[in-house]
Amino acid sequence: MKPNRSALSITLALGCLLAPATSTAALVLINGNFQDTTGLGVTSPNTWLNGIPTGWSGVTNSYTVGTNNGGTNWIANLDQVSSTSGGFRPLYQDLGTLDETSTISMTFTVLQPWNANLARAGAAIWSNAFTTTLDTLSDLTPGTYTLTAENVAAGTAIRIGFWRSRLNNAPGIDDVSITVTPVPEPQLPLLVTFLTAPMLLLRKRRRFA
């Protein structure tokens, strides 16, 4: 029995169209858990460090990275690495530029390890430096949160950042992670073309047979 070439063509076309997309749009986050303390000075041994954490930009101060009540986990202190007085200066990081249209999710944890006042923090995803806010939350109390920026166009430069949103408190930020999911290209019109073209050709051949 001869193979049905039309059916084989359709099967191959479907396989190509429905194969999962691979991402070349991955953004690079450096030191999202703040455990890389390279280049930081020591304010208080095993408790407090000074300077800006590796991979990040912000306000240079003492007491910028500390442990969780004397533990072993280093946490960024938004009271010292960011400022909202005299100009908006968050702790931020540039992640790179998207190669394809994608949805970006940023998950992070707000902590209250050092101050009795309830921690209040802000977070954002921006495009092209601070030009456009893609998603933001403010006045965050301790907990884990996720920001999501949907359908961000290819060629967009991505920046993320955090800040203390109220005076007289010292929120900590930790466990920052980024997920990039490419947005699938519309495939229905192409799929219809692949499905109908062999059938029309087959009908035409039968008509003239």
Whether residue 3 is contained in a domain is answered as: no
Whether residue 41 is contained in a domain is answered as: yes
- pLDDT of 19: 45
Order of strands, sheet of 172-182, starting from the edge strand that comes earlier in the sequence: 41-44, 48-50, 65-67, 74-77, 172-182, 102-111, 143-152
**Structure tokens that stand for 81 in this block:** 């690495």
- pLDDT of 61: 87
The pTM of the full predicted model, rounded to 2 decimals, is 0.78
- pLDDT of 6: 45
Neighbours of 104 (CB within 10 A): 25
Helical segments of 65-158, H only = 78-81
- pLDDT of 174: 97
Say if CB 99 and CB 24 are below 8 A apart: yes
Backbone angles phi, psi at 206, to 5 degrees: -65, -35
- Residue 110, beta-bridge partner list: 143, 173
- pLDDT of 86: 79
Whether residue 38 is contained in a domain is answered as: yes
Q: What is the tally of structural domains in the chain?
A: 1
Cα-based distances in Å from 178 to 16, 27, 93, 104, 154: 29, 8, 12, 7, 17
Whether residue 172 is contained in a domain is answered as: yes
Whether residue 205 is contained in a domain is answered as: no
- pLDDT of 3: 47
Distance in angstroms (rounded) separating the CA atoms of residues 16 and 72:
49
At 7-34, the pLDDT tens digits run: 444 444 444 444 445 444 579 999 999 9
Whether residue 1 is contained in a domain is answered as: no
- pLDDT of 44: 87
- pLDDT of 203: 59
Spell out, as residue ranges, where the chain has pLDDT lower than 50: 2-3, 5-20, 22-24, 191-192
Whether residue 163 is contained in a domain is answered as: yes
Whether residue 111 is contained in a domain is answered as: yes
DSSP classification of residue 89: B
- pLDDT of 200: 52
Residue 32: which domain range?
23-185
Domain with 100 in it: what CATH number?
A: 2.60.120.260
Say if CB 138 and CB 122 are below 8 A apart: yes
Sequence-ordered strand ranges (E) for the chain = 41-44, 48-50, 65-67, 74-77, 91-97, 102-111, 121-127, 132-140, 143-152, 157-164, 172-182
